[in-house]
Structures are given as structure tokens and as C-alpha cells.
Amino acid sequence: MDVGLGVGDLLDSRYRLDRLCHTAGEHELWHAVDQVLDRGVAVHLLAARSRTDAKSIAAAVGRAGAVPDSRWVRVLDVGSVPAGRKVTVWIVCEWVEGQALTTMLRREPLRAEVATFLIAGCAQAVAAAQATGARHGRLHPDEVLIPTDGLPRMTGLEIHRARSADDATYDDVVGLGALLFAATTGHWPLKGWHGLPAVQKGDGRHPRSQRRHVGRALDEVTARALSGGYPDAAHFARALARLPQTPLVNASEDSESVARERVRRITWWVVPPLLVAAVGVAAWTAGSRLGRVPGEDRVAASSFPQPRSQATQGSRLVWSKPPAATSFDPQGNGLEDPGGVGLAVDDDPSTAWTTDVYRGSSRFGGLKSGVGLLIDLGRPKTVDSARMLLSAAGADLELRAGAAPPSTPDELPIVANRHASPTSVTLRLDRPVRARYWLVWVTSLPSVGKGEYSLGIAELALLH
């Protein structure tokens, strides 16, 4: 694409083009320097057919910038410059240090549990975008970046959609299925992108036709997504949440300490000690992976405490089946992992509801005072303590309770709190409280990387 721009040129007297990274038709990706903030940024240059087309692209990019999920690479600025009879639209995004998923898969496919973890994160991001009316329009592994923390970041939201009106029928959920197929096999099952080898055998929907070690449950979920069997990304994300997952751990991290932490988190919920020993021996005898018994589907861990019909040691859950859980985000748009809220009360400590990733400070980057998880017990019940298993230590927590669903956290009084919580925390009430609505309100997040903060609630138990 010849737009008359090159190394050293300025956009808006601010963004200096530094290095051309990628060219695809009428789309160029540059590394640039924001001279005002003295930081690296990514700049997309797109050839628009007319000024009207340029305005349409800018409007689409604006929709992308309104999506709150931080797994999408942030859009920082947009503008245009004349290019002969056409117009070049420039889009400035944050620069993410990391490799594209394509690069990883060219070396070798990912283990099934790791692939599921990565694409589950992508599915949650797409679900958040769909909730605002935004979509990607052409998902493929080049659009997924893997920073050093191993958490996927996605690019290109609304950009391809804005440029290709003839792709109006493209389904982002099918694209997510293709990402999962590629992550487990190293082959790309759809047309229109050639960054990985095409599928050479099978029907192009079942990864087991390429790699026999892919479990049947994962194979079914992938094939269903590629066949258009999920109505939206949130349903696909929930299907992935029921499969075994393992985070992509930085190779420099001490794997032994990671294993110890995972085992500790799981055994915290397996009580009494004889049961811990029995589960441990059985799992290791069967060849479990860090507390998960191998098989086609995840096996739920034993909960502590047990439901009221299975009392143990005087502490009992106040529900016999998982209660209704809702993401509570009154200062945002309610999209703090809405599809994953049930994972905090699913009796499985290997899954979690997670907040978005915030940057700059543990206080949600200064954007809001907190986010939370709202539990509706269906009717008032007496609670004297709450036990939680968290993804990391250091969060500030409040437990609030009341008779009516709140619109702000202050409408529910605080009944217990904890500063700098450990990963396994019990909040004890000064006296038993009877209420229907219970809110775990998070006011400060633990660090998950350099300048980034997030929290997952793997298990929540209200006890009496």
C-alpha cells in the first residue's frame, strides 16, 4: 500500500512512524513513537475508498474503543490523511510486547488444556464486545497476542468489519472455534487466511482428526463452534469453562512453585485430611495433572463445607445447589466476566470468575471504586462466615448483605471485610446476619504483572 508515508513521518504532529511490522493488502501495521507521552504505540494504516468510507472506519473504531474488556488491545486515537484520490485512515493502539499466537503454533501446537485456557480468554473478550454490539469480523491467530504473562490480548476489533461489507455474514464464534482448532493442531480450518498450514485431512471441524490425543469433549466443543452451534460467544465461553484448563506459564517461572500453589489451592477445599489423602493418592495413581483426574470432562472437586444435607465439622453451605450469581459493576457497564460468574460457585476450584485487567494502580486504574460478585440466595438465609479461594493474595474485600438487590454497593451494609487478603480467606461476621442478597465487593486488586492488576474468585462459600 503506497500512502506516501514512511519511517520518520508524523501523524497528527505526534505519532512518529518508526518501523513497518506487517503489510496485508491495503493494511499496514507500524510501530510508532508517541512523542507527547514518549512511549511506543501500534499504528494501523488503512486505505479508505473515500472520505465517507474513512468516516465509517473511524466510527467503527470508536465502537471498538468503547468495549471495556481489557483483553482487547486499547484504541488510543484515530484520524486520517489525504492520499491522492483516496484517504488513509490511521488508528493508534497500545503496543503489546509479545508474540502472535501464529508464531507459537508454527513451532508446535499447544497442549489441549493450555489451548482451552487461551481461547476461553478470547471467547470472554468477544462476548464482552458482542454485548456492546461490536464484533471483529476476521479472527485468526495473528489477531491474538501472547505477552510474557501468558494472558491473551486481541487486536483488530471492528477494523476488518469496517473494511469488508461483503463479510457481514462472518461469525466471530466460528472464528473462535477456528482459533481453538488451530491452537490444538497447528492447522487453520477456514478460508481467507494462510498464516498456518491448511487442514489436510478430516472434515476441518474435529481436531482429533489431526491429533488423536485431543480429548473427545474438547473435540466436540470445537466442532460445534465451527458448525455454528453456539448462539454467541458467551455460550461458547461457558462450554470451554467446563473443560480442563492450564494457564500458559512463563518459561522463566519456577514450575515447582507453580505446582505447589495449584495443589495447595485445590487441597484447601478438600477436607478432612483423610479425604485429602484419598483424593491425592487416587489422582496421582490415575496420573492426574496437578489435582485434575484425566478424562474427557473436568471432574468437580469435593467442596468444603458440604451442603446442608452432608454436614461436616459444624460448618455448612447455606445452599444445596449453586445460587444465582451476577457480575456487579455499577460504575462500569456490568461486563466484568459476565459469562463466568457461575464459576465462583460451581464447586470446582480450578475455574474462576475474574475481573478485567486494570493498569496503573490496584484501585482499578482510577476508573472506579470497585467491582463485585452479587449472590441471590432466593430467600433470606442466615450466614455467619464466608470462605473464598482467590487467584492471588493482596485484594481488599468487603462482604455486604441486605434484603433488596442493590444499585450501588452502599445500599448494602458491610458485615465483614479484609485488607490484603490471602488466597484462602475466611470472613467472619461479628454476629450472624440473615439476608437474601450478598455482595463480595472488591475495592483493591492484587498485582498480576508489571503494572497490571486483576482478581479471580475460584470458589465462594457462604456458611452457617
Lowest mean pLDDT among 275-284, 364-373, 445-454: 275-284
pLDDT of 47 over the 50 cut: yes
Decide if 246 is inside a domain.
no
Tell me the percentage of the chain whose pLDDT exceeds 90.
40
In a domain, 249, yes or no: no
Which of 74, 94, 114 is a domain's end point?
Answer: 94
pLDDT of 193 higher than 90: no
pLDDT at 133: 87
Note the Cα 64 to chain centre separation in Å.
Answer: 17
CA distances to 18, 22, 87, 166, 224 from 9, rounded to whole Å, are 8, 17, 16, 33, 47
Residue 166 neighbours by CB under 8 Å, 6+ apart: none
Q: What is the pLDDT of residues 309-351, one digit of tens each?
A: 333 346 789 998 888 888 888 887 666 776 678 888 988 777 7
Tell me the residue type at 79.
G
Q: What is the DSSP letter of 7?
A: T
Q: Which residues contact 164 (CB under 8 A, 6 or more apart)?
A: 137, 138
For residue 206, tell me if it sits in a domain. yes
Residues 308 and 450 in one domain: yes
In a domain, 115, yes or no: yes
- Cis peptide bond upstream of 141, omega within 30: no
> Peptide bond preceding 272: is omega within 30 degrees of 0, i.e. cis?
yes
CATH of the domain at 27: 3.30.200.20
Indicate whether 228 and 102 sit together in one domain.
yes
Among 138, 136, 141, 135, which Cα is nearest to 109's?
141
Task: Quote the pLDDT of residue 86.
Answer: 78
Last residue of a domain, one of 69, 94, 119: 94
Indicate whether 320 and 367 sit together in one domain: yes
Given this model, what pLDDT does residue 54 score? 85
Decide if 418 contacts 427 (C-beta within 8 A): yes
Are 221 and 294 members of one domain? no
Q: Which of 94, 113, 133 is the last residue of a domain?
A: 94
pLDDT at 305 over 60: no
402, 350, 395, 398: which is closest to 377 by C-alpha? 402
Q: Do 227 and 292 belong to one domain? A: no
Residue 326's SS3 state is strand
Q: Name the residue type at position 166.
A: D
Task: Report DSSP letters for 228-239, one per residue.
Answer: T-SSSHHHHHHH
Given a contact cutoff of 8 angstroms between Cβ atoms, the answer to whether 221 and 232 are in contact is no
2 is a domain residue: no
How many domains in the chain?
4
Which residue from 401, 446, 448 is spatially nearest to 419, judged by alpha carbons?
Answer: 446
Same domain, 227 and 166: yes
CA quadruple 332, 120, 455, 273: dihedral positive or negative? positive
Mean pLDDT within 110-134: 92
Residue 265 has pLDDT above 80, yes or no: no
Q: Is 414 left (phi over 0), alpha (psi -120 to 50) or beta?
A: beta
Cα–Cα distance measured from residue 171 to residue 368, given in angstroms and rounded to the nearest whole number: 33
Instruction: With CA atoms as reference, report the closest residue to 211 among 100, 113, 105, 112.
Output: 112
CA distance 74 to 125: 12
Whether residues 66 and 147 share a domain: the answer is no
Are 340 and 325 in contact by the 8 Å Cβ rule? The answer is no
In the β-sheet with 10-11, what is the strand arrangement from edge to edge? 10-11, 15-24, 27-34, 39-48, 86-94, 75-83
Tell me what pLDDT residue 261 has.
44
Q: Give the CATH number for residue 339.
A: 2.60.120.260
Same domain, 107 and 45: no
* Residue 29 within a domain: yes
- Say whether both 228 and 109 belong to one domain: yes
Mean pLDDT of 80-86: 78
Query: What is the span of the domain harbouring residue 48?
Result: 10-94
Same-domain pairing of 128 and 66: no
Is the same domain home to 89 and 109?
no
Does the pLDDT value for residue 219 go beyond 90?
Answer: yes
307 and 454 both lie in a single domain = yes
Tell me the C-alpha distance between 151 and 358, whole Å: 13
